[in-house]
């Protein structure tokens, strides 16, 4: 990794426990809106950030939104880490969207993650 890419990651990705705290907060804000009995679980699909050019570092996740302990939605998520303060959801493909049109996964997510995302959507 180049020094420029590393410095861009260091400037934007929250450190330590703040990473999970901020990611949980921002995923909940995106998925739960005004719902009070809502929880978001996530799993990183790739360890560490992906840095391309001068864009914000990206993370790729599988997220599940539970409302009243029932899965309301789940799918693949791309988030950008910004200024060590927040994560912006830049793309979400629901499980249903992936199953209907698996070809769209490759236009959003890195090629190395496409099969993993499609298999996850199929429940494997």
pLDDT at residue 34, as a whole number: 77
Count of Cβ atoms closer than 10 Å to residue 82 Cβ: 17
Average pLDDT over residues 20-46: 93
Q: Model's pTM, two decimal places?
A: 0.92
Using pLDDT thresholds of 50, 70 and 90, give the confidence band for residue 8. Answer: confident
CA distance 13 to 80: 9
User: What's the domain count of the chain?
Assistant: 1
- The pLDDT of residue 1 is 58
Supply the mean pLDDT for the chain: 93
List C-alpha distances in Å: 92 to 18, 62, 73, 86, 98. 22, 9, 10, 17, 10
User: Is the pLDDT assigned to residue 102 strictly greater than 90?
Assistant: yes
Confidence of residue 33 (pLDDT cuts 50, 70, 90): confident
pLDDT digits (tens, 9 = 90+) for 45-90: 999 999 887 789 999 999 999 998 899 999 999 999 999 999 999 9
- Domain of residue 12, residue span: 3-121
């Amino acid at each position: 990794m180049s020094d420029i890419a590393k410095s861009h990651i260091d400037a934007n990705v929250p450190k330590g426990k703040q990473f999970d705290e901020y990611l949980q907060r921002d995923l909940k804000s995106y998925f739960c809106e005004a719902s009070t009995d809502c929880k978001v679980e996530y799993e990183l699909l790739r360890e560490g950030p992906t840095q391309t050019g001068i864009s914000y570092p990206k993370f790729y996740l599988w997220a599940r939104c539970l409302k009243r302990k029932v899965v309301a939605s789940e799918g693949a998520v791309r988030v950008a880490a910004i200024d060590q303060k927040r994560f912006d959801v830049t793309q979400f493909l629901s499980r249903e969207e992936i199953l209907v049109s698996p070809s769209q996964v490759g236009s959003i997510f890195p090629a190395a993650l496409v099969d993993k995302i499609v298999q996850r959507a199929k429940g494997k």
